Amino acid sequence: MKRLFLVSLLFSTQALGGDFKGDLDRDADRIRVDHPEIAARVDGMSPLKNRAGMLAFPGGDLVDPRAQVLIQDRLLDGGDDALVRTALAYALDDAHRIPWAVAAELEPKVRAALISGYKKAGDADALAAFESALQDESLVVRVEAARLIGYRPDLVSETLLQGLASALSDQEADVRRFGVRSVSWRQDPGGFDRVEPLLGDASAQVRGAAVRALGKLDRERAAALPELQALSSDADPRVKRSLKRVLSP
């Protein structure tokens, strides 16, 4: 168990700095020689569909640090299609998140999946990942970044806050919706004023998120807003639900 921990620490430390790809290739080669059974498992495994129809690689054995390294290796070098590589990305635990500089070179769907590695883990590397992902050219990446940054109120920088502000005016409703939510979850200073204009958003989902977010940021102030009260005639159930939370005694 102790040895496993040391191996894990070694690999995960390598994963966070230096020549990641070179180190990974070397580590993967060594594991394939020393543990052919693990290599056979990871290299030979096929994804299964979860109940929602998304590809996945279930199995508790895959959290073995050696298996994790081989999953990293297969993800970056295995030649699988983007859907399979997306599933491989979600098979990685926090300690084996892919450095964003490496992830940024991958397809949008895979990049979006790799952001989840920073949902709970990382410091400076996580900050850099979110700063970049919030400004990503790909919609799917921006959506995931806007959603997951709400889980990381500890990450703060001027660039990140600018990215989050731009998420609120993103052309895509999902980015705005998650951006609004993340601002409230993070309780960022000035968040109320930035979210308030989205009460008039064209998307009902965004309006509903804005109502809920304002209530979370300052319920009393939100309840007094004429723009918010005016939404009581909004027919969308998501808006109604949020209004009920904010306006109920």
Stretch that binds other proteins, among 11-19, 23-31, 51-59, 129-137 (CB under 8 A): 51-59
Question: Which residues are 135's β-sheet partners?
Answer: none
Cα(152)–Cα(120) distance, rounded to whole angstroms?
7
Please, is 58 exposed, middle or buried when counting C-beta atoms within 10 Å of its C-beta (0-12, 13-18, 19+)? exposed
Quick note: the x/- pattern for other proteins over 88-127, rule CB under 8 A, is --xxxxxx----------------xx--x---x-------
Quick note: the x/- pattern for other proteins over 10-49, rule CB under 8 A, is -------------------------------x---x--xx
Please, is 41 exposed, middle or buried when counting C-beta atoms within 10 Å of its C-beta (0-12, 13-18, 19+)? middle
68 binds other proteins (CB under 8 A): yes
Contact with other proteins (CB under 8 A): which of 26, 219, 221, 244?
244
Find the shortest distance in angstroms from Cβ 245 to other proteins. Answer: 6
Any idea what the Cα angle at residue 37 is, between residues 31 and 40, rounded to 5°?
Answer: 90
130 binds other proteins (CB under 8 A): no
Please, is 17 exposed, middle or buried when counting C-beta atoms within 10 Å of its C-beta (0-12, 13-18, 19+)? exposed
Find the shortest distance in angstroms from Cβ 118 to other proteins. Answer: 12
- C-alpha pair distances (Å), 24 with each of 21, 62, 77, 161, 174: 5, 17, 10, 33, 35
8 binds other proteins (CB under 8 A): no
Asked if 68 and 95 count as a contact pair (C-beta separation under 8 A), the reply is yes
249 binds other proteins (CB under 8 A): no
Contact with other proteins (CB under 8 A): which of 7, 10, 16, 56?
56
Contact set with other proteins (CB under 8 A): 41, 45, 48-54, 56-63, 68, 86, 90-95, 112-113, 116, 120, 144, 147, 150-151, 153, 174, 177-178, 185, 212, 216, 237, 241, 244-245
